[in-house]
Amino acid sequence: MLRIGPLTLKTPLLLAPIAGHCDLPFRLLCREQGGVGLASTDLLNSRAILNGSAKTLELAATCPADDPCGMQLYGNGDDPLPQAACWAVDHGARLIDINMGCPVDKVAKKHGGSLLLRDCSATTLLAERIVKAVERHSGGRVPVTAKMRLGWDPEHFVAPRLARDLESIGIQAVTVHGRWTIQFFSGHADWARIGEVVSAVRGIPVIGNGDITEPMHVLSMLRQTGCQGVMIGRAALRTPWIFRHAWELLQMPKPDPSLLQEPSVSDKISMIGRHLELLSAQNYSERHALHMMKLRMAWYGKTIQNGKALRESFRTAVSVREMGSALTAFAQSQAAHAAPNRALPSASTSV
């Protein structure tokens, strides 16, 4: 388990708030696969939340099956982050996370994200305002955390000092992505530097993030850095079951990746069908659902042998129902090549 202030997670594995991907259907899918301790929303613009932006409210949507849910906010000292954090508490957030790590220009050069790493004193004061507002509003039941990078560039390794200062004003956990802002997602994450952040704080948990592409990487991250939790991002887009596998390894007396059971093609087909169902259940527009599933299939298809035709069927589909039909046809073709007595995998959807 991982304890973040008053919040206890069942596993130390967290789904990263991946911009453009972490909508409610995907979070639910990952949770259903198993092993997820906390899933967070896509990053939310503080002003857009308070202005009632339809797109932002859609990103912030949660439900009882999505518990515990974290909501990640971004902005700077001129933005209404404390008020937005209180809004998030009222709308289902069990944890408020301040984005101090997004390197994307529209965030980092204007509204916050990694920009907050350029002036750590001002960032600490901003975080203190958010912590105090959430403390008053929630009665101390909702922790505030921060997600950061190592610094803007190698000449400005600010993460250890910033994490220690944030701890002193009430931040109850920090997540550290082991890259510099200028790297974006290139190169390699520096886990040794994450370890330095672990050594810098006095008692709050540090969650490691970066280059976790296989279940065994979770154990390696924990061992090498001393961090108490691991956040998984892009690998979950391709293998949503990575949390279950990592959790299974963590519970083994002698962790052995060879004991992990790769989902069968039938399981993967059923999982894709389930994702279609979850998208439809949210009453998204047909256009939005199509767009999201085409993005997903570009990732899922990489794990399915001979799945090129299925990926192409999804790419050219003009309706979600057509996607469901393509999935069923692919399941039938797989069954035809399997053993005669093998049961036909279920790939039907309600769309």
pLDDT tens by residue, 181-207: 999 899 999 999 999 999 999 999 999
Asked if residue 208 and residue 62 are part of one domain, the reply reads yes
Q: Which residues contact 334 (CB under 8 A, 6 or more apart)?
A: 265, 266, 269, 345
**Which residues constitute the domain of residue 300?**
265-336
Asked if residue 244 and residue 111 are part of one domain, the reply reads yes
CB atoms within 10 A of CB 267: 14
* Last residue of one domain, picked from the residues 259, 285, 308: 259
Q: What is the C-alpha to C-alpha distance for residues 95 and 72, in angstroms, rounded to an integer?
A: 8
What integer best gives the mean pLDDT of the chain?
92
Pairing outcome for strands 2-4 and 7-9: antiparallel
pLDDT digits (tens, 9 = 90+) for 281-300: 988 888 999 999 999 998 99
Give the CATH number for residue 121.
Answer: 3.20.20.70
More confident residue, 249 or 331: 249
Q: Is 178 helix (H, G, I), strand (E, B) or coil?
A: strand
- Tokens representing residue 117 in the block: 């790493």
Residue 349 lies in a domain: no
pLDDT digits (tens, 9 = 90+) for 111-137: 789 899 999 999 999 999 999 999 999
Residue 349: predicted pLDDT: 38
Residue 350: predicted pLDDT: 38
Number of domains present in the structure of the chain:
2
Q: What are the Cα distances from residue 129, in Å, to 85, 123, 125, 163?
A: 10, 10, 6, 16
Average pLDDT for residues 106-115, to the nearest whole number?
79
Asked if residue 216 and residue 329 are part of one domain, the reply reads no
Tell me which residue has tokens 């997004």.
102
Residue 337: predicted pLDDT: 73
Active-site positions?
Answer: 102
Asked if residue 274 and residue 248 are part of one domain, the reply reads no
Asked if residue 245 and residue 326 are part of one domain, the reply reads no
Q: What is the C-alpha to C-alpha distance for residues 4 and 57, in angstroms, rounded to an integer?
A: 26
Average pLDDT for residues 231-241, to the nearest whole number?
96
Residue 226 lies in a domain: yes
Residue 100 lies in a domain: yes
* Last residue of one domain, picked from the residues 237, 259, 281: 259
Q: What is the C-alpha to C-alpha distance for residues 101 and 140, in angstroms, rounded to an integer?
A: 25
pLDDT digits (tens, 9 = 90+) for 20-50: 899 999 999 999 999 999 999 999 999 999 9
Q: What single-letter DSSP state applies at residue 116?
A: G
Q: What is the C-alpha to C-alpha distance for residues 204 and 127, in angstroms, rounded to an integer?
A: 15
* Last residue of one domain, picked from the residues 259, 278, 306: 259
- Tokens representing residue 234 in the block: 């892009």
